[in-house]
Structure 1
Amino acid sequence: MSLDKRTREQMLAHCDAIHEDDGVDPRESFKLRSHRDKPDRKAQQLCRQVAETIDQILAGELGDAALNALRVTSVVPAPDASRMLVTLVATGRDMPFDRAAVEQKLVAVTGLLRSAVAAAITRRKAPNLSFVIIGPHDDDLTALANGGVQ
């Protein structure tokens, strides 16, 4: 963290030399590390609610066989609770899997999914949804490396 000239001069007036921890709130420095690294309980609760809602909508309310074959495997905040990364896996092994077509259909219903999530949760703003689709034959999870659908 760089200091502007005035702050630097004020600090030098009170001490001999400026160190890395000068200007840092000591209450933050001495807090136990476990409290800072602890996962946010409310964000995890929101992820569970989003996963349940999207899984229910995809299971049968859309009337599309390709989307009905998708199941939610995980929902994580990306990077925070205002945006969720939803990982979907295609379960239909008997029908051919066309990733591009499924992604297009998913983009078309993203607004519907987001409004369903907004109705299911009690927050002022519904989170933005991003999707990653894993095909039924993707063993190496290359879909995660490609970034998915937004």
Structure 2
Amino acid sequence: MTLDKRTRDAMLELCGQLHDDDGVDPREFFKSGRGPRKTDHKAQQLCRQVAETVDQVLSGEMGDDRLIGLRVASVQPAPDASRMLVTVVADWAPDDFCRAEVEGGLHASAGRLRAAVAAAITRRKAPTLAFVVLGPHPQEARHD
């Protein structure tokens, strides 16, 4: 904190030397020094609900053959709870995996998945879903 000359002179009369924290409200000084931000428990709860719902829908309620064998690995807010990043993993043999087909199937059924999430949660607006597809073995997966 930069002090003007009069304030600095008045403070020097009261002490031997000035430090960075002199003249600062201790409540404000120590507020910024706290540890990492608290996790948003509501966002984490929503992520768990979205993961359970999408995993259940992908396990057998979708009519798309491209999506059979997918399971949800994680769901994270991206950047907040209005948009969720869903990471799915394919449980197939590496020779049968085609990332473009799986991403196309997820893109085509994103509306149905979002509707299922909206029915499962109690919020005014359902979050939009973004997907990341991980192959069975990324080194051996075929990218067509």
Structure of greater relative contact order (alpha carbons < 8 Å, 6+ residues apart): 2
Distance 1:94 1:80, change over 3 A: closer
Structure (1 or 2) with the larger CA radius of gyration: 2
| 1:1-150 to 2 correspondences below 5 Å | 30-31=30-31, 33-34=34-35, 37-93=37-93, 96-138=96-138
Structure 1 window deviating more from structure 2 (110-119 vs 36-45): it is: 36-45
Identical pairs, percent = 64
State TM-score, norm by structure 2: 0.73
**TM-score (normalised: structure 1):** 0.70
Aligned residue in 1 for 2:20: none
Unaligned 5+ runs, structure 2: 9-24
Q: CA deviation at 1:27?
A: 6.0
Distance in 2 separating the partners of 1:95 and 1:39: 40
Shift of 1:30: 3.7
- My pick for the range that moved more, 60-69 or 103-112, is 60-69
- AA paired with 1:68? I
One-letter identity of the residue aligned with 1:64: D
Task: Please give the alpha-carbon distance, in whole angstroms, between the structure 2 residues aligned to 1:86 and 1:68.
Answer: 16
User: Aligned residues, how many?
Assistant: 125
* Root-mean-square deviation (Å): 3.1
Unmatched runs of 5 consecutive residues or more in structure 1: 1-11, 17-24, 141-150
